[in-house]
Structure 1
Amino acid sequence: MEDSKRDTIMITNDDGIDAPGLRALVNVLLATNLYDLQVCAPDTEKSAVSHSITWLHPIAAKKVHIDGTTAYAVSGTPADCTSLGISKALFATVADLVVSGINMGNNCGYNIVYSGTVAGAREAFFNDIPSISISYDWVKGTSNLHDFTLAAQACIPIINALMVDIKNQRYPKKCFLNIDVPINVANHKGYRLTKQGKSIIKMGWKQVTSEAEGRKMLSDMTNTDTAAPTDFNMSSTPGSLLFAREVKGVQLDHDDTITDHKSLQEGYITVTPLAAISQEEVDCQNYFKDWLQSVSESPSSSAL
Structure 2
Amino acid sequence: MLRILVTNDDGINAQGIRVLAEALLAIPDAEIHVVAPQEEKSGVGHGITYREALAPKEHEFYGLPVKAWAVNGNPADCVKAAYFLLYGEEKPDIVFSGINVGNNLGRDIYYSGTCSAAREAVILGVPAVALSYDNFFHGEDYGQAKEIVSPILAELAEKARLRSLPADVFWNVNVPHLPLADIKGVRPASLSLHHYADVYHHQEGGYWLQREYPDQVITDTDEDYWLMKQGYVTVTPVHIDATDRTLLADIASWPSIKGLGKGENGE
Instruction: Tell me the TM-score normalized by structure 1.
Output: 0.75
For 1:194 and 1:265, how far apart are their aligned partners in 2?
12
* Unaligned stretches of 5+ residues in structure 2: 261-267
What letter is aligned with 1:289?
A: D
Q: State the TM-score, normalized to the length of structure 2.
A: 0.84
Give the superposition deviation at 1:168: 2.2
Which amino acid counterpart does residue 110 of structure 1 have in structure 2? R
In structure 2, the CA distance between the partners of 1:292 and 1:269, relative to structure 1 (3 Å rule), is: same
* 2:70 is equivalent to residue 73 of structure 1: yes
Count how many residue pairs are aligned between Structure 1 and Structure 2.
Answer: 255
Match of 2:50 in 1: 55
Contact in 1 for aligned 2:27/2:154 (Cα 8 Å): no
Aligned match for 2:185, one of 187, 190, 193: 190
RMSD: 2.8
Pick the aligned partner of 2:86 from 79, 84, 90. Answer: 90
Q: After superposition, what is the alpha-carbon deviation per residue over 1:81-129, rounded to whole angstroms, capped at 9, x for unaligned?
A: 0111122x22344211100000011111111110100001000100111
3-state secondary structure, aligned to 1:109 = coil
The question of whether the paired residues in 2 share the 8 Å contact of 1:61 and 1:73 is answered with yes
Deviating more after overlay: 6-15 vs 252-261? 252-261
Give the aligned partner of residue 202 of structure 1.
197
For residue 31 of structure 2, the aligned residue among 5, 20, 36 is 36
**Quick one: percent identity of the two aligned structures?**
32
**Gap change, CA 1:200 and 1:62, over 3 Å in 2:** farther
Instruction: Check the 8 A contact 2:9/2:75 in 1, yes or no.
Output: yes
SS in 2 for 1:72: strand
Q: Which amino acid aligns with 2:186?
A: Y
User: Is 1:155 the equivalent of 2:118?
Assistant: no
- Check conservation: 1:63, 1:71, Cα contact below 8 A: yes
**Contact 2:9/2:42 (8 A) holds in 1:** yes
Answer yes or no: is the 8 Å Cα contact 1:102–1:152 preserved in 2.
no
Deviation at 1:289, TM superposition (A): 2.1
How do residues 1-304 of structure 1 correspond to structure 2 at under 5 angstroms? Answer: 6-32=1-27, 34-66=29-61, 67-87=64-84, 89-92=85-88, 93-140=90-137, 145-147=141-143, 150-186=144-180, 187-199=182-194, 201-207=196-202, 213-214=204-205, 243-250=206-213, 257-278=221-242, 280=244, 285=247, 289=250, 293-296=254-257
Contact 2:168 2:241 in 1 (8 A): no
Partner of 2:263: none
Q: Distance in 2 between matches of 1:106 and 1:97?
A: 21
The question of whether the paired residues in 2 share the 8 Å contact of 1:111 and 1:201 is answered with: no
For structure 1, the 5+ residue unaligned runs are 1-5, 215-242, 300-304
- Residue number in structure 2 paired with 1:239: none
